[in-house]
């Protein structure tokens, strides 16, 4: 699981069966100090509460689908939590 920042939303009306009602968000992956690292990804919202500006963590690969109501759907990344705080011992 990795940290990310929600930087936008993605609207897609036509989608594969099973993904109805799932919200897609644009997420910028972050390093542990919350600096952007790599390309933005489109992630499904598994907590149904994330929105632009939120610091989140997401899970990738097969486990991404398990966080959604229908657990056999084609997604790469899903947000599984909103971050309240990150405490680093070694910055």
Partner 1 sequence: MKLGRVSGTVVSTICADAYAKRKLLICDLMDPSGTATGDYLIAIDQVGAGPGDDVLILDEGNSARQILESPDAPVRAVVVGIVDRIHLD
Q: For residues 7 and 70, what is the distance between their CA atoms, to the nearest angstrom? A: 25
Scan residues 70-89 and list those touching partner 1 (CB under 8 A).
71, 78, 80-89
Q: Is residue 15 involved in binding partner 1 (CB under 8 A)? A: no
Q: Is residue 36 involved in binding partner 1 (CB under 8 A)? A: no
Q: Least separation, in Å, of the C-beta of 62 and partner 1? A: 5
Contact 59, 80 (CB under 8 A): yes
Q: Contact residues for partner 1 (CB under 8 A)?
A: 1-3, 31-32, 46-47, 49, 57, 59-67, 71, 78, 80-90
């Amino acid at each position: 699981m990795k940290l990310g920042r929600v930087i936008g939303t993605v609207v897609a009306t036509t989608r594969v069966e099973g993904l109805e009602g799932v919200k897609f968000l644009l997420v910028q992956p972050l390093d542990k100090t919350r600096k952007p690292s790599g390309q933005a990804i489109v992630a499904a919202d598994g907590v149904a509460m994330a929105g632009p500006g939120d610091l989140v963590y997401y899970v990738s690969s097969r486990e991404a689908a398990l966080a959604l109501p229908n657990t056999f759907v084609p997604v790469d990344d899903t947000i599984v939590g909103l971050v309240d705080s990150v405490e680093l011992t070694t910055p």
